[in-house]
Amino acid sequence: MEVYPVAEDTELLLEASLGEVRKEDFVLEIGTGSGYVAKKISEKCRFVVASDINPFAVKKARELGLNVVRADLLGAFKRKFSLVLFNPPYLELEEFEKKGDWLEKAIDGGDKGLEIIRRFIGELDGVLMKEGRAILVHSSFNLPDIYDLIGEKGYRFQLLKEKKLFFEKLYAIKIFR
């Protein structure tokens, strides 16, 4: 498997995004994977751009007719967006679980599952409009450190949705100034 499949966290991001997206929004979805969320959101807003570091995901999203860019997080974007969506890698894989493939990149968030999230929050100012907001999915395994990271960058957050799985809870939060 080369592209992260639609899973519980994908559905959680979609549910939270559908409750937040507005007709006038310019939306950026980071780590689009299959393009599932970006495609569904594209019907509800003004414009959507999707991105992924995985070339196979970019190809799959293009096949859905999406505007998609191969990029690592937010550095490739010069314009500002009113809504940024991200279902990041939020788990910390053990060494024996690592295979060095694209699926690992979609799952492994590094130390405490927070390395990619930390980079995302650090780069968010570069793409978020003044009144913009971001929706981020994370795991109960990331608590409480994730909320400290958000606060350190001068953002606030609000819980939008949560989903209980047998081994963890997933959260979709809105991040805003």
What residue spans define the domains of the chain?
8-176
pLDDT at residue 103, rounded to an integer: 83
Fold of 8-176: Rossmann fold (3.40.50)
Q: Please identify every stretch of the chain with a pLDDT value under 70, giving residue numbers as ranges.
A: none
pLDDT at residue 100, rounded to an integer: 87
| Average pLDDT value over all residues in the chain | 96
> How much of the chain is in helix, strand and coil states, percent to nearest 5?
35, 30, 35
C-alpha separations of 41 from 15, 19, 105, 125 in Å = 10, 10, 24, 22
pLDDT at residue 11, rounded to an integer: 98
pTM summary value = 0.96
| CA angle 127–149–145, rounded 5-degree value | 145
